[in-house]
Amino acid sequence: MGQVIAIVPAAGKGVRMGLKGPGKQFVHLAGKPVLAHTLLALEASAQIDGIIVVIGQDQVKLGWHVVNSYSVGKVQAVIPGGRTRQESVWAGLQHVPDDTEIVLVHDGARPLAKTELIDAAIQAARTYGAVGVAVPVKDTIKVRDVAGFVASTPPRDSLWAIQTPQAFHYSILHEAHTRANESGCVGTDDCMLVEKLGKPVQLIEGSYRNIKLTTPEDLIVASALLASDEPEDDGQERQSPTVTRVGWGYDIHRLVEGRPLILGGVEIPYHQGLLGHSDADVLLHAVMDSLLGAMALGDIGQHFPDTDMRWRGANSLHLLQQVNKILIRSSGTLPKISHIDCVIIAERPRLAPYLLQMRLNIAEALGLTVDQVSIKATTAEGLGPAGQGEGIIAQAIAAILA
Ligand code: CTP
Ligand code: MG
């Protein structure tokens, strides 16, 4: 038997996700970048011999960084992709060794695929030559015409939503791509190209949990699904929580030229930044004070005094992790943060595109799911220091079951 090689297309721009920054492949979920979740599921397959990661043109270094940070030893190459998913898979195929028997293609943006599903696809490809993982559609599907009217309603019983992994005999996938390139056919998945060859494609049942991260709400669903994968019992004794304690945090920092603007751990492009001893992340400071306040543990000024050089330029996300440890240490039981709600008051810049990444950062630092962290942004209608653009204010409220 020849080798089994996995190609991971992760070179998309994530337009529908609408995130700024390096893109959805690098968003952190449950403490790891999306790409790391995907690669580790492939790494854990006893059947896979090598992995080829296809990444954005300027992200090869970042890709290797993820591979090395999570010790994904099977990765043989991290290469730049193309303009379409198909071009990216084709780029990956150029790096597949000659003695390859099976090629498995699995989207970088599907971090929830289980290793068992990957193995099942490989096994089925040995029998059928071309295999896609799919699930029966839940909704009734309509075909819509250009004028917006329903053209037809295919019977739901026969409709399946295709996912990845998809696995193929190397020769079949290579031929399918070669033929598609020659004829100018563009497919959104690899099975489609094999279908065009007129060869059979077997569908095996996938999982509704194996979602593709496409639009922002998918991150919330994935975060909840990953949290539900965590072992229920972490071996720590804990008493059942009895009371809900609430804490409030407030902070204000001055806006000045020549400093980066960091809010919720996100660096936001703006000509001014916040002045302060640490990174001056006013939002995280308010969050930390709300958590400390809920447990009557003072404020961040006491725990991280600005006279202490250790906190000079400190990354406030690290300080937030420290606060989480302080909560755990100081409490007889393990305090359970049930929710944090924040508001940022800033006249400019527009913060809406960055709020989701801020929520993900806070959730990750505290071991929460993203739905447990809410952030709102508002202007001050030109009133007061925030309204006049002299500074940014943040307020936070935290509820802790203790
Ligand atoms: N992909 C790729 N190269 C491209 C386009 C997509 O490798 N030129 C990858 C994506 O990174 C993703 C998978 O193919 O892992 C599925 O594509 P999709 O969900 O469409 O991701 P994006 O193209 O990044 O998102 P969008 O279409 O919203 O821009
Ligand atoms: Mg796309």
Binned at pLDDT 50, 70 and 90, residue 126 comes out as very high
Ligand 2 centre to CA of 25 (Å) is: 12
Work out the mean pLDDT of the chain and round it to a whole number: 92
E strands in 230-372: 244-257, 261-263, 266-268, 272-274, 336-345
My answer on whether 155 and 42 are in the same domain is yes
Q: Is residue 124 part of a domain?
A: yes
Tell me the β-bridge partners of 127. Answer: none
Question: What is the mean pLDDT of the segment spanning 254-276?
Answer: 96
Closest atom of ligand 1 to CA, residue 16: 28
Q: Is residue 238 part of a domain?
A: no
Question: What is the mean pLDDT of the segment spanning 129-143?
Answer: 97
CATH of the domain at 97: 3.90.550.10
My answer on whether 130 and 220 are in the same domain is yes
My answer on whether 19 and 82 are in the same domain is yes
My answer on whether 223 and 276 are in the same domain is no
Q: Which residues surround ligand 2, an ion (CB under 5 A)?
A: 12
What pLDDT was estimated at residue 381? 95
What pLDDT was estimated at residue 239? 47
Q: Which ligand is nearest to the CA of 9?
A: 1
- 94 burial level (CB within 10 Å; 0-12, 13-18, 19+): exposed
Closest atom of ligand 1 to CA, residue 215: 28
Q: Is residue 237 part of a domain?
A: no
**Of 229, 264, 298, which residue is a domain's last?**
229
My answer on whether 167 and 295 are in the same domain is no
Closest atom of ligand 1 to CA, residue 12: 24
E strands in 141-223: 143-144, 150-152, 160-169, 202-205
- Pocket of ligand 1 from Cβ distances under 6 Å: 9-17, 25, 54, 81-85, 88, 107-109, 212, 214
* The token pair that represents 386 in the structure block: 């925030």
Q: Which ligand is nearest to the CA of 13?
A: 1
Task: Give the separation between CA 56 and CA 373, rounded to whole angstroms.
Answer: 30
pTM, rounded to two decimals: 0.69
My answer on whether 222 and 251 are in the same domain is no
My answer on whether 181 and 260 are in the same domain is no
Task: Give the separation between CA 373 and CA 220, rounded to whole angstroms.
Answer: 11
CATH of the domain at 363: 3.30.1330.50
Q: Is residue 239 part of a domain?
A: no
- What percentage of the chain has pLDDT greater than the value 90? 79
Asked if residue 333 has pLDDT above 60, the reply is no
Ligand 2 centre to CA of 218 (Å) is: 15
What pLDDT was estimated at residue 343? 98
| Total domains in the fold of the chain | 2
My answer on whether 213 and 262 are in the same domain is no
Closest atom of ligand 1 to CA, residue 108: 15
**Of 229, 263, 288, which residue is a domain's last?**
229
- Give residue 356's domain range: 244-401
User: 334: number of CA atoms within 13 Å, CB side?
Assistant: 11
My answer on whether 117 and 213 are in the same domain is yes
What pLDDT was estimated at residue 31? 72
Dihedral of the alpha carbons of 345, 263, 18, 90, in degrees to the nearest 10: 180
